[in-house]
A and B are shown apart, each in its own frame.
Chain A
């Protein structure tokens, strides 16, 4: 999978290719950190401290 992505990066020079790959990784991490994880954390709710009628 990663080799497949590496081969399809739109640059030829190895250093430029590594920079583009690093950029992609950073974009993926930022998406996880700022959107996916805050949403996931509310869904999992393993630190829920409030009381609710009808709660399990």
Chain B
């Protein structure tokens, strides 16, 4: 009786262990596969849209659609992600997401982008390596915005004021064109947020072959 119980418990623990290993594979590899597929689709849609003549419209970018492309030369030539509009769970599974209520790319105020650090292709996995002066390139239809990192900060997840038009100064009127990247901190934890601040340094016409992409 007791032998049977121990055997049954052993099998249950073994099954649980296999499920945990499978879950680790899912989070670290499976989620990335999903994001890579979504990024391929977003990249194709965005490049097709940018190849067409611009439409005169007052419509905002729809949630979940590609809004711009982010490149960080420090992370190598292959580092490129399409930024989606929105920061819902579904949006961030497809790539880094732009907070819709914040400034557009290159706009006056704060262009705020959030991205996963360990799952879903981990677009912001290495943002902790950025240092003052490192470049963050944001490509839009006609323009490449070159931002320079100004500082990094670790905050609690309730510090929504980092996304203000002037970070951490609510109500202040913006005079600069800023960028803020947010991701989880430390890796594999949601206890804090790592924030990267930057400001616009240069504005270049976007060309198909990027002048600055490495």
Contact = CB atoms under 8 A, between A and B. Distances in A.
Interface in B1-34: 8, 11-12, 19, 22-23, 26-27, 30-31
Interface in B82-99: 87, 89, 92
A46 B183 CA distance: 11
A32 B19 contact: yes
Interface string A20-50: 0000000001001100010011100111111
Contacts of A51: 114, 157-160, 162-163, 182, 193
A50 to B, nearest CB: 5
Nearest to A42: B89
The prevalent SS among residues of B at the interface is mixed
Q: How large is the interface on A (under 10, 10 to 19, 20 to 34, 35 or more residues)?
A: 20 to 34
A22 to B, nearest CB: 15
B184 interface: yes
Q: How large is the interface on B (under 10, 10 to 19, 20 to 34, 35 or more residues)?
A: 35 or more
B117 A47 contact: yes
A53 B160 CA distance: 6
A47 B160 contact: no
The prevalent SS among residues of A at the interface is loop
Contacts of A53: 158, 160
B12 A1 contact: yes
For the complex of A and B, list the 7 residue pairs with the smallest distance between their C-beta atoms, beginning with the closest: A55-B157, A48-B190, A37-B26, A55-B158, A49-B183, A47-B119, A49-B114
Interface of B: 8, 11-12, 19, 22-23, 26-27, 30-31, 87, 89, 92, 114-120, 124, 156-160, 162-163, 182-184, 188-190, 193
